[in-house]
Structure 1
Amino acid sequence: MKRTKHTFNTSIFLGGLALVLSLFSCGSNDSNETITLDGNQNENIVVITNSQFEASAMEIGKMETFEFSDKVHTTGMFDVPPGHKASVSAYFGGYVKESELLPGQVATKGQTLLTLENPDYLQTQQDFLEVKNHLAFLKSDYERQRNLSEENISSQKKFLQAETEYNSALTQYEALKKKLALMNIDFNSLTAEKMTSIISVKSPISGFITSVQATKGMFLNPSDIAITITNTEHMHMELNVFEKDLHKIKMGQKVKFKRQNDPNKVFVATVGLINKAIDTESRSVLVHCHLDNEADELLFIPGMYVEAEIFTATQGQMALPETAVVEVENNYYVLVKTGTENGASVFEKRMVKVGATEGGYTSILNHEEFNENTEFLTNGAFNMIME
């Protein structure tokens, strides 16, 4: 369906005689409408017939007050709390015997991530069993010497010696027991027959494997990071707000952002924490934000870049629907209704100065050039101006 726009130049045709223009509308019966406009017209005049108006679902409206938000534009990334990330290493060096995990796989807390082999592990188990067996004798001797000392049958010196030896062995026993626990060896069931040169390294948290540095056969030192794990629950945004904008940021303010691969979907978050330390290099502060819809957290991963707007305040401004304003070569125009002639609506193309656009409305900075009763073509202006 074609909309017809008519423009008129300022020359006088036939000494001021009536100018007759035939306007063809897109009505269902394809009938022609003849409109007679008196006087001289210029190229900024647009005439729209009733049939054009109805067929194109055009609308007329007035300028109104709209609450525009003052926004701070910022960037940042998604992250998880420190307690939801783990760098896994071995407490005791050894050769990697088994490691089949890949980045992206899910690990559960307590799951074996890899196994290490080292003959030095046997020495720790041997020391534990020897101390454990000797401890029973030392305990018996300590209790016997205590009883003899209380009855003045044995000297205090023998009692103190027995006590010292027993406590020393007990300390060594407890230390070795904790060392075996770090090796993930069950000291309660450990016997000489069950000693092993292989230990397992278990996952301290549940989450996704994000990197694997350990390979089969390599020697893993206690300081080496073998695997990193990230729990993506409680995903949040860390936004960088420059020092000059920091005074505008407050707890509870709303944040809107989009994914780079889905610009039509708007996500909403809320400012939860504001760091009190300024990065001296970037002169910015980290602002911690939580997504309003927790289900949206599954759509993001730690480290994902984000551009966001923090809504800090609102201000009422005179505005028109976004569809009423048309940009032509970096200038902005609207169609102002000036009246009706011969059954058609007459509009004048006027230039405007625009400000922010939000929620389908565009602020008009030179609104004082129009009165409160001025009517604008709020729907359909683009086709009429660009034809």
Structure 2
Amino acid sequence: MKHLRYSTFVLMAFLTVLGCGNGNTENAETQSEKIPDGRIKVTQAQFDQTGMVLGTLEEREFPFIVKATGMIDVPPENRSVVSATMGGYIKTLPLLIGDAVEKGQVLLSIENPEFVTLQQEYMEVSGQLDYLKSEYGRQKTLYDENITSQKSYLKAESDYKMARAKHDGLRKQLTLVNISPGEVEAGNVTTTTTLYAPISGSVTQVNVSRGSYVAPATPILEIIDNEHIHLELSVFEKDIMKIKKGQDIAFKIPEASSDTFEAEVYLVGTSIGEGRTIKVHGHLKDEEGENFLTGMFVESNIVSAATTARGLPSESIVGADNKDYVLVLDEELNGDYYFKPVGVKVKKSHAGFTALDNENEFGASDQFLVRGAFDIFGE
């Protein structure tokens, strides 16, 4: 092949090999030999001892990989921030970060004198409501019989409806702060209210301590349910057209494990966000098999459309002097193997296999040293 090129690094390696002929016999038996015509000679004993293997170009699929980063997350309905509708002082708070809670479980209690005022107003309106309802009914009967004036009837109707609206509003307020209207009507007035877990999960944040004051809508606790987790990835604008629902995702948690996990694209965002990226939502193929935590950083490869190409195992390609080489079998004579170093152009790699950009320069019957090339180049 007229296109053969030899790097300075390779030539120096060959000269070193020749110089090793003056060493001990054991080393000489395990080292290849550079012969005058530029080829590398490997004896059968050397070939067998180092586990060398010959192979030909193979047709393989090489998928297009889109790299993306993101995090482990949960759906919005699996994340809940607990806050108080009305402010107050934290009276009890027995939970710590990491505690498991069940939906409806008591989380904490809040104390506030304003709760007494609210209950008092409700009791007063409740007491008036029966009277105003009765008066409204009486005035309606008198008005229908033309005994009383329309003005008296309309005033009775207005007073009753206003009282009923205030009663219903106060009842809703009591319900929102988890105070039972029935208990209040029975005369049981309290200065404290209790907050309950809206979902089952684990406590991930505790923002207050016992005795501290919390204003209305201040986040007190956060609860996350990890029963269903997903990947929330950021894909650059230039790659988003290659992403489709159902594509495979291979991802790692670099800070926690060297293992590779599997997911698939479930949703692709429709708007461009910060850094010209689009959100891609991925579902894990095995949620129960691993103990993932919300917020973990992930590095992922999204497997897009695949193409076929001829190539060789990646270990058969060795870099030297900023170039890549393979060893092509030129001749097999008297049990010895004669190889030629040939320059190649790497196109893409996947799963331990590398496609060659200049694969048309080789024939289907050409044989390559697919295992052990590094041992020869490294001598």
TM over 0.5: yes
What's the secondary structure of 2:193's corresponding residue? strand
Give the distance between the partners of 2:218 and 2:150, measured in 1 at CA: 51
Give the distance between the partners of 1:218 and 1:112, measured in 2 at CA: 18
Structure 2 residue aligned with 1:239: 233
Identify which range, 347-356 or 370-379, moves more after superposition: 347-356
Structure 1 residue aligned with 2:203: 209
Is contact 1:99–1:113 with CA below 8 Å preserved after alignment? yes
Equivalent in 99, 102, 106 of residue 108 of structure 1: 102
Equivalent in 128, 133, 141 of residue 127 of structure 2: 133
Equivalent in 342, 356, 359 of residue 348 of structure 2: 356
Equivalent in 40, 47, 51 of residue 45 of structure 1: 40
Give the distance between the partners of 1:311 and 1:383, measured in 2 at CA: 33
Percent of paired sites with the same residue: 38
Instruction: Map residues 322-333 of structure 1 onto 2, 5 A cutoff.
Output: 322-328=314-320, 330-333=322-325
Residues 189-247 of structure 1 deviation map (CA, whole Å, 9 limit, x = unaligned): 33464211011122222222221111111111114221222222332222222222222
Equivalent in 248, 254, 277 of residue 284 of structure 1: 277
Q: Name the CA shift for 1:302/1:324 in 2 (closer, same or farther; >3 Å).
A: same
Structure 2 residue aligned with 1:366: 358
Give the distance between the partners of 1:157 and 1:215, measured in 2 at CA: 57
Equivalent in 177, 180, 195 of residue 183 of structure 1: 177
What's the secondary structure of 1:295's corresponding residue? coil
Q: Name the CA shift for 1:41/1:262 in 2 (closer, same or farther; >3 Å).
A: farther
What's the secondary structure of 2:341's corresponding residue? strand
Is contact 2:41–2:336 with CA below 8 Å preserved after alignment? no
Q: Which amino acid aligns with 2:96?
A: L
Q: Name the CA shift for 1:305/1:10 in 2 (closer, same or farther; >3 Å).
A: closer
What's the secondary structure of 1:188's corresponding residue? helix
What's the offset of the Cα at 1:174? 0.8
Cα RMSD for the two superposed structures = 3.1
Q: Does 1:228 align with 2:234?
A: no
Residues 306-337 of structure 1 deviation map (CA, whole Å, 9 limit, x = unaligned): 22122222122220012322334544332222
Question: Tell me, which stretches of 5 or more residues in structure 2 are unaligned?
Answer: 1-12, 19-23
Q: Which amino acid aligns with 1:133?
A: G
Q: Does 1:122 align with 2:82?
A: no
Q: Which amino acid aligns with 1:283?
A: R
Q: How many equivalent residue pairs?
A: 361
Higher-helix-fraction structure: 2
Q: Does 1:301 align with 2:296?
A: no
TM-score by length of 1: 0.83
What's the offset of the Cα at 1:68? 0.8
Q: Which amino acid aligns with 2:296?
A: M
Q: Name the CA shift for 1:43/1:262 in 2 (closer, same or farther; >3 Å).
A: farther
Is contact 1:77–1:305 with CA below 8 Å preserved after alignment? yes
Structure 2 residue aligned with 1:19: none
What's the offset of the Cα at 1:263? 6.0
Question: Tell me, which stretches of 5 or more residues in structure 1 are unaligned?
Answer: 1-5, 12-21, 26-31
Is contact 2:35–2:41 with CA below 8 Å preserved after alignment? no
What's the offset of the Cα at 1:9? 9.8
